[in-house]
Structure 1
């Protein structure tokens, strides 16, 4: 019998470092995709060095894109100017969450 994940606060020291980018953040992505940790869990990353927002965003998303590319899974197309593919809404809905706007039907 599997145990229900409990909410927690995960504090990452060195959140912009190489180890976080290569190992920790991708592992957190996979855990979240698989329904762990609990939806209420928060991750807070700290760093001594500065990192502008754009660089931080790419350093965080690059490992996720690399994983997607290694599986040969193409991005799901969606109309320009829309909120994205319907599967994105389904994905967050599986965790009991929702985007701020409704999916057009």
Structure 2
């Protein structure tokens, strides 16, 4: 089964107080390596939302067939200074199954 995760998050004023060069350096040093490590198991797309939503400033759309890989990716993100220094907080996580009902119907018919 293919899972889609909407991972919503908000950057804090502490993050915004950093220069853009500092922010870019942190992204390159901590965030990009985590996503690169799981790139063959978890596809990621990133979206800005601060102009459209008050609770979160950004969200990522993640797709995977391996929930364990997704879970490990999130755990590794939590270990980065981005989270531990409270530059970013997760505001919502939603997960769904792409075509889940179709898979259910195929499996149900196969059992009949």
User: TM over 0.5: same fold?
Assistant: no
User: Which structure has more RCO (C-alpha within 8 Å, separation ≥ 6)?
Assistant: 2
> Could you state the TM-score of these two structures normalised by the residue count of structure 1?
0.28
